[in-house]
Chain A
Amino acid sequence: METSTAMTAVQAHEHPRLRELKFTLARIFRNPSAVIGVVLLSFFIGVAIAAPYIAPPKYAHAPYKMPHKGFSPTPKAPSERFIMGTTSGQYDIFYGVVWGTRTAFKIGLFVVGIAGFVGITLGVLAGYYGGWFDEFLMRFVDIVWSIPLLVLAMTIVVAFGRGLENIMIALALVEWRWYVRVIRSEVLKLRNQEFVQAAKLMGVSDCKIILRHILPNSIYPVLIMGSMDMGSMVISASFMSFVGLGAPKGYADWGQMVALARNYIVGPSNDPLQFWYTIFFPGICIILFVLAWNLLGDALRDAFDPKLRRR
């Protein structure tokens, strides 16, 4: 009887994890730039999800292929038919921008997901166990650090052919080194913390110590980095597409669209801004997408800053 009343008294309070989450969210949303970031991001997510309704694909089997009417190299200004105009080769800019959002998320999630997973796994193991594995891995990371991204990307493209997938693989291959270093240094700090030692004294297995004590306390810097990386990966991929290593011509990718507009950035001498729409729409999308992730990353950094978090 007494137990049950005590139980209800406990349950009457909200669950502490919920309270903690609220506290963190409150901290994040106190920051105006975070609000801007989240709004921008939810806009992009909305566009990405609703892409088939906003811009119904012409070829159902290949929605990422931008539809085009004619082959004229001269872009056409926004009209009722093409509300953002058409770019060189008569590709519909509006369609490209909408489906390019999906491409951007695909690039970001794939690269950050793979690099993060590999980096976190290796970094935690190296930091926690130390010894020869740590030494070996870190020297290998040093070697990876010396590989220039562009050279690696060109090699992969030469070997496997042009395509967005190959660029994403190239990016993931060089990006994981960041995560290894960051999480390893966090784990090194935690490894000798007293609560980890106490867990060892109780006979808790290494696996449980890593999952219960090490990871939850070291994951936040990686989350922040991942958020920032989502944006910068899109920039890198766009750059690759721009120099001709990435998505093939006509693929709905912002970088590739900027590449198509390359010859029309500056118009004829009597009207230099004649073809502004070819560069403006995909360009602004890249900028806003990166900005959104960076603002979010900054807000996360502020929210998880241990110096500010607790009194």
Chain B
Amino acid sequence: MVRQISVFLENKSGRLAEITRIIGEAGVNIRALSVADTSDFGVLRFIASDTDKALEALKAAGVTATATRVIAAEAPDRPGGLASLLQVLSDNGVNVEYLYAFFHKSGQNAVVILRVEDKEKTLDIFEKNGIKVLTPEEVYTV
């Protein structure tokens, strides 16, 4: 499964710039990212080209960062593509905690990063419904 890095962020100016600078200086590329926030704090989630290296650099800088396993699935790049993928999950009673998407550089498809409660069940459902799940290598080296 793909490893995503999550970082605790206070809502203050320059924080995101600082975090991305640390990642950049460690020579790590950000493949995809999303930020969720409340009025006080936020959580930055991203896929790195080298998860361990990025984690190490962030922790060395005293940043609260953890790795979480997420699923990367392909959705057809056409109107209704994401909806069809989500419909499959909904039909099977899978709750999505959060998701974000990005474009595959070479392919025709979008990549959807999903965090769900029951990962094994979700992988099964995707397999049965012919939805392609990407390997970590495929995602890290997009």
Q: Do A and B bind each other?
A: no
